[in-house]
Chain A
Amino acid sequence: MSRFKKNSEEKQRNGDRIDETKHQNSADRESNGGISRRDFFKSIGAGAAVAGMATSCTRTDPNEGLEDLEGTNLVMVIDLQRCTGCGGCDIACKSENNLREGHFWSHHITHTTGEFPNVRYEYLPTLCNHCENAPCEKACPTSALHKVNGGVTAHDPIKCIGCRACIINCPYGEVHAHFGEPHSEWKSEDELIEGVTGSPKSALEDTGGNGVPYYNPERENFGEGNRYHGIVEKCDFCLHRLKEKKLPACVKRCPTDARIFGDLNDPNSSVSRVLAKYRPFRRMEHLGTQPKVFYVRSFNSAADYPQTKGELAEMDAERIDDWKFSDIDYLEAEDPQTRNIAMLMNADRQGKIDHSKKAQEEQLFG
């Protein structure tokens, strides 16, 4: 049983509910740089105000609402052979977190080596690695970047002074600066095709979104719904969803179950079992940041498979026999390539590691 599950049960026994109140009281929130200045000017000149500031520095419990994650070590494993490079995770993340133009908390790196047919194309989905030894967190002078239960690197917008030391120190480019008004592009009245399409502004008016045509208010459940000028932002494994016992949006929306999320402290979790089975790699491991996003089964990796020369290699069922696939059956298909894939799936059907979303949710949330 995962620790998250155990904690949940204990809480329920104690008659507690998971606190679903917002991470910060909205009245405390500074919706843009201007208000913070006003607050500042209001506070100076009076000793009481200084005391108030001091109190506001310590009042927020960073783990508020995340009590059930205590003792867990949340990690993500990305199976590169399952990943089709569809970018669904990137889009899901953008809509889930109301990300502004140009910002991607979930992104990817692509790289092509060689010429067809001896070509190798790599697609590496990327996101904040929630490093155990996080340089961004160490560099932050105000603890705006901090660790919360589960080992997640979270960001508190209220504490952020916008020094950008975290951006400088993150080796992966996973912290993003906010300059100017977010989503201002949606205020444009320029029609995309004159007389044919509407303008961004009209789209916004039609949908009634909060700065963006689609606004997800659930994001307000942890931090800000829309980040504002001067601060930074980054992936937080969808803490607002974890509070509600939901998997991160990128995991939930991945059509091929390539993203596996769970507690590494639970030996029976899918992530623990997959990592025990397959040799993983992490980004820039030599830096000692101890990333918590692992990659397994490098696509077309010479270490795992013979040179493919543009065709599917002879499959080694041993390697994949306990790997879960969907239930499509093309074993009798005429096309040998399809049969090969079906063979993989079939082998997997006897699978021992169930890493379906349902299984992940079950393991983590009970």
Chain B
Amino acid sequence: MTETASASKYMERTTKQYKYALTAGILAMIIGVYGVFRVLVLGDLGALSTEVPWGLWVGLYEYFVLLEVGAVLSFILLRYGAGIKELSNIGPIIMLTALAALVGALVAIFHDLGQPFRIWRTFLAPDFGSLLTWMIWLHLGYSIILVIELWAYRIGRKDIVEKMAYVSVPFGMALIAILGSFLSVAAARPLWNDLLLPVVYLISAFVIGSGVVLLQYLMFAPGRGTTEYGMIAVRLGRWFFAWILFGIFTAFTISLVMTYADVPATAMILKEMFTGEFAWTIWVFHVGLGIGVPIFLLLWQEHFESLRNKLIALGAASGLMVANFLMVPMNVVIPALAFRYDHVRDMLVRFDYFPKMVEWLVLVFVAGLVLVIFAIGIKLVIKPFYKATIQMPGISAEQAE
């Protein structure tokens, strides 16, 4: 914490953020609740079918999992690996973001189940031969770790915070590994099979995670307006930029490998993805707004004189990337189901899928819920944490932890 930071100003800002998050969250939940009703009471599963049995909700689930693990892994790598002590202050915010995303993931996938109220079977009579069971149980473990971590932040137990941070790493990695393997082991879906998703998802988690750390730092770290704050933000921006480049390299090389041999089961689907009817979702959201514009902003801000402008550019770059990252799991999940290569007829068979209103409504509801949980967390953990650490002017980040 910087000496110049005004504790009361900071608390005022946090209160405002709490109110905004809560209001936006409740509004979104009100808008989306009709979708929840249709799914849970009337059994309306939108555009899903036998042919395309997973869609928007599974994509949303994967997005939140990448976010919840990526944010924590990136934070721990930077804070404890690289030893950037100034990041200590955003520790609880990162953990809270992860917990809110985790709840979002579970609620999204709950709606996707045909018989959601039988979910207890996976706890009371699980089949551990299934990767899905492992995913559910790992989520349970991961959520417990995050709750303990937040509780430790709230009561100021630095030792527990650090220990749980280390424990969360193998759990997070395992979650990503299972998330990727769950799709990649499906021999029935050559696209996933060839993608080596556990590795791709780990890199994706770091890309979105470093974006989340930057975004949350800019929004919540105390000391806004100070040079130190600006310097850290710029460093985080460069780290984020490096991960984006790494992500592009991975996606590019894998796509080249998959298309080189022209094996139709994967090459034809990729071609369809990049040039077909829904190619705009990739080019506009994924490549354009999610990668192109952030890269441009990240490079451009290096030439800005004003620190304020630099921070705005960094915020816009991370915000755009984090929001549009939703297209990554969507483009992994949906095309592999919507297109199937028929070996007998030597042709690509296409099944129609575009999310229906009910699916979008549930997405809005889940996003609202994530915001509400985040807001509640601000009140229960973040405010008490900062109250304790920045009450006295001059307290340093090191001391805060």
Contact = CB atoms under 8 A, between A and B. Distances in A.
Contact of A142 (B126, B188, B340, B344): B126
Contact of B130 (A36, A109, A138, A160): A138
Contacts of A169: 185-188
A109 B344 contact: yes
B349 to A, nearest CB: 10
Nearest to B342: A109
A162 interface: yes
A50 B120 CA distance: 9
A179 B121 CA distance: 20
Interface stretch (B111-119, B296-304, B360-368, B393-401): B111-119
B261 interface: no
Contacts of A111: 344-345
Nearest to B127: A143
A204 interface: no
A37 interface: yes
A164 B188 contact: no
A53 B119 CA distance: 12
Name the residue among A57, A163, A178, A180 with the largest chain B CB count within 10 angstroms.
Answer: A163
A164 B48 CA distance: 11
Contacts of B391: none
A161 B115 CA distance: 5
A53 B124 contact: yes
B189 interface: yes
Nearest to B51: A173
B125 interface: yes
A161 B121 contact: yes
Interface in A149-171: 159-165, 167-171
A14 interface: no
B226 interface: no
B43 interface: yes
A180 to B, nearest CB: 6
Name the residue among B129, B130, B187 with the largest chain A CB count within 10 angstroms.
Answer: B130
B122 A139 contact: no
A40 B118 contact: yes
A145 to B, nearest CB: 9
A230 to B, nearest CB: 3
Contacts of A230: 43, 113-115
Say which size band chain B's interface belongs to: 35 or more
Contacts of A161: 113-116, 118-119, 121-122
A179 B45 contact: yes
Contacts, number: 136
B355 interface: no
A284 interface: yes
Interface stretch (B99-107, B131-139, B208-216, B322-330): B131-139
A178 B183 CA distance: 22
A184 B183 CA distance: 33
Contacts of B120: 40, 43, 53
Contacts of A87: none
A124 B48 CA distance: 28
A141 interface: yes
A114 to B, nearest CB: 13
Contacts of B306: none
Contacts of A164: 53-54, 114
A39 B117 CA distance: 9
Contacts of A241: none
Contacts of B188: 135, 168-172, 287
Contact of B49 (A36, A43, A57, A177): A177
A141 B133 contact: yes
Contacts of B127: 140-143
B190 to A, nearest CB: 10
A58 interface: yes
Given A142-B122, A169-B186, A229-B114, A179 B130 contact: no
Name the residue among A135, A141, A172 with the largest chain B CB count within 10 angstroms.
Answer: A141
A140 B130 contact: yes
Nearest to A58: B125
Nearest to B43: A229
Interface in A83-108: none
Nearest to A157: B115
A165 B132 contact: yes
Nearest to B46: A179
A357 interface: no
Contacts of A159: 118, 121, 125
Nearest to A54: B124
B185 to A, nearest CB: 8
Given A168-B186, A168-B188, A168-B189, A139 B130 contact: yes
Interface string A219-247: 00000000001111000000000000000
A33 interface: yes
A29 B135 CA distance: 28
B163 interface: no
A130 to B, nearest CB: 16
Contacts of A187: none
B370 interface: no
Given A40-B120, A179-B45, A33 B115 contact: yes
Contacts of B53: 164, 167-168, 177
A36 B125 contact: no
A326 to B, nearest CB: 30
A164 B49 CA distance: 10
Contacts of B114: 33, 160-164, 177-179, 229-232
Given A138-B129, A164-B114, A229-B43, A287 B136 contact: no
A178 B187 CA distance: 23
B50 interface: yes
Name the residue among B116, B136, B189 with the largest chain A CB count within 10 angstroms.
Answer: B116
A39 B124 CA distance: 15
A167 B273 CA distance: 22
B343 interface: yes
Contacts of B115: 33, 36, 160-162, 230-231
Contacts of A170: 188
B125 A57 contact: yes
B234 interface: no
A176 interface: yes
A156 to B, nearest CB: 11
Contacts of A287: 187-188
Contacts of B119: 161
A121 to B, nearest CB: 12
A141 B137 CA distance: 11
15 contacts: A36-B118, A37-B117, A40-B120, A53-B120, A54-B124, A139-B131, A141-B126, A141-B133, A161-B113, A161-B116, A164-B53, A169-B186, A169-B187, A169-B188, A170-B188
Given A138-B130, A143-B127, 6 more contacts: A41-B117, A139-B130, A164-B54, A171-B187, A230-B43, A287-B187
- Complex A-B, nearest 7 residue pairs according to Cβ-Cβ distance, in ascending order: A162-B114, A230-B114, A57-B125, A171-B188, A164-B53, A40-B117, A141-B132
